[in-house]
Amino acid sequence: MKNNIVEKNKIYEVHIDDIGHNGEGIGRIEGFTVFVQGGVPGDDLRVKIELVKKNYAVGKIIKLVAPSPSRIIPVCPIADTCGGCQTQHIDYKEQLRLKTNTVKANIERIGKLEGVLIHDTLGMEEPSRYRNKAQFPVGNLDNEVAIGFYKKGTHEIVNTSSCYIQHEVNDRIVEVLREYMERYKVSAFDEENGMGLIRHILTKVGFTTGEIMIVLITNRRKIPHQEELIQALISEVPEIKSIVQNINMKKTNRILGDECITLFGDDKIVDYIGSLKFHISALSFFQVNPMQTKVLYEKALEYAGLTGEETVFDVYCGIGTISLFLAQKAKKVYGIEIVDAAIEDAKENARINGVENAEFFVGKAEEVVPRLYKKGITADVVVVDPPRKGCEEEVLDTIVKMNPKRVVYVSCNPSTLARDLKYLDERGYRTVEVQPVDMFPHTTHCEAVVKIERV
Ligand SMILES: C[S@@+](CC[C@H](N)C(=O)[O-])C[C@H]1O[C@@H](n2cnc3c(N)ncnc32)[C@H](O)[C@@H]1O
């Protein structure tokens, strides 16, 4: 079908009223949707149409006719090119409002649910330097060492000396690495030909303990001038507790390989969420925004409404962080997770916190949950925190059969969340309350906790 409203290469005036998945502005020309990179809700723009598809067009800003009051100058000088942040050019309050709107729109349009209380997004007081884990690709740019982040949608490295959403200590670590590579002519990995030594630098910071881990991902085993590198790192950053080499010789987009060698200190660092202690190793998963994780988990715990008598399922439990939070207020918690290593971490985390009422199962939730139910194990309260694709129907069906009084849904994807809430609603589980939490300021990621009750 030919679109008669918008034509390629023509110029139009567009008012932006929303943002898309990648932070692009969305406006309409006579009702026809136009995506504009860099557009902010509230902007009046003159745009040149570059692409026309059946249901939408893509335009480029020619002139900012009247800027939105929410348009700001990003703090980071490379915010436009770097792929890490998408919404630094939008005032933080407005970012939060847009996240609330996204959750609301999905619940109404996909979930078709009415009368749900959707709270304003809980944001950070200081939404900067919040990430406890950084991954810097290392490469070559104009015959010099490049350490930074990938350019939007590419594998081209943007050199950076500081990142606004990472911990400050990374600035010093990156500089030491850069100097070391330049001084000793240590090669950077080249994705094209698979040659060169250093692939990535991964850093992890315990925000509560101040402990730091550096993981050097290499394409070979031998690191030239290894001792000089270690000395340079620990003299510049004395908080370092662990330096690990991770070997990845494969031609792959995966950052980490399977083999780790501890070069300095311990093979793990320690951090806390609330009063719970966690061991963080080179390969283990840990939430990247520890301050907001606490906010998210406390909300999940509140919505679970535990009295100490309940059996609780924590489905998609990862390393058991939510399970251990729940175990403080429940009779028994069963955690279920597909990744073997995560379950090993969950058991270790339970042990170091002296938690004895949590049990963990490895396997697909859609197989383990029905199997436990068949064995006669049921839940009074179920918490689910699935990946972006949401819950499998077998999981939701078994939850309904278990007949718990409450379900708490932690979601990182509002559209699959809305689909699953509708599914549960049609089976007697009513969505009562939704609390979006901003886990990733300056990005378009939306996280939400939902309280669902048996009717
Ligand atoms: C969003 S994370 C939640 C992790 C954890 N609740 C936390 O807060 O750290 C989703 C988890 O689901 C796991 N997962 C993905 N597919 C799964 C499946 N089919 N069955 C069980 N776990 C799965 C992933 O490995 C991941 O750990």
Predicted pLDDT of residue 341:
87
- Tell the residue nearest (CA) to atom 6 of ligand 1: 317
Predicted pLDDT of residue 78:
87
Residue ranges for the chain with pLDDT beneath 70: 1-3
Asked if residue 288 has its Cβ within 6 Å of ligand 1, the reply is: no
Predicted pLDDT of residue 2:
54
Q: What is the DSSP code string of 11-34? A: EEEEEEEEE-TTS-EEEEETTEEE
Predicted pLDDT of residue 1:
46
Tally the C-alpha atoms within 13 A of residue 327's C-alpha that lie toward its C-beta: 25
Instruction: Kindly name the residue from 82, 85, 391, 412 that is annotated as catalytic.
Output: 412
Residue among 408, 409, 129 at smallest CA distance from 289: 129
Predicted pLDDT of residue 253:
85
Assess whether 82 carries a catalytic annotation.
no
Distance CA 382, CA 304 (A): 8
Q: What is the DSSP code string of 396-454? A: HHHHHHH--SEEEEEES-HHHHHHHHHHHHTTTEEEEEEEEE-SSTTS---EEEEEEEE
Query: How much is the ipTM here?
Result: 0.99
Ligand 1 atom closest to the Cα of residue 365 is: 20
Place of tokens 């030919």: 2
Q: 314: CA distance to ligand 1 center in Å?
A: 10
Q: Copy the structure tokens of residue 138.
A: 């290392």
Q: 245: CA distance to ligand 1 center in Å?
A: 26
Query: Quick one: DSSP state of residue 120?
Result: P
For the chain, how long is the longest CA-to-CA vector? 68
Q: Please check if 385 is assigned to a binding site.
A: yes
The kind and range of the H/E element at 200 are: strand 198-205
Asked if residue 321 has its Cβ within 6 Å of ligand 1, the reply is: yes
For 335, the 3-state DSSP assignment is strand
Predicted pLDDT of residue 150:
87
Q: 362: CA distance to ligand 1 center in Å?
A: 11
Asked if residue 250 has its Cβ within 6 Å of ligand 1, the reply is: no
Q: What is the pLDDT of residues 381-422, one digit of tens each?
A: 999 999 999 999 999 999 999 999 999 999 999 999 999 999
Residue among 166, 205, 170, 198 at smallest CA distance from 184: 198
Distance CA 455, CA 453 (A): 6
List of domains in the chain: 3-66 (2.40.50.140), 96-125+289-454 (3.40.50.150), 133-275 (2.40.50.1070)
What amino acid occupies position 108?
Answer: E
The kind and range of the H/E element at 299 are: helix 290-304
Asked if residue 206 has its Cβ within 6 Å of ligand 1, the reply is: no
Place of tokens 């199997």: 371
Q: Please check if 316 is assigned to a binding site.
A: yes
Distance CA 401, CA 373 (A): 9
Q: 300: CA distance to ligand 1 center in Å?
A: 16
Distance CA 344, CA 244 (A): 20
Asked if residue 155 has its Cβ within 6 Å of ligand 1, the reply is: no
Asked if residue 261 has its Cβ within 6 Å of ligand 1, the reply is: no
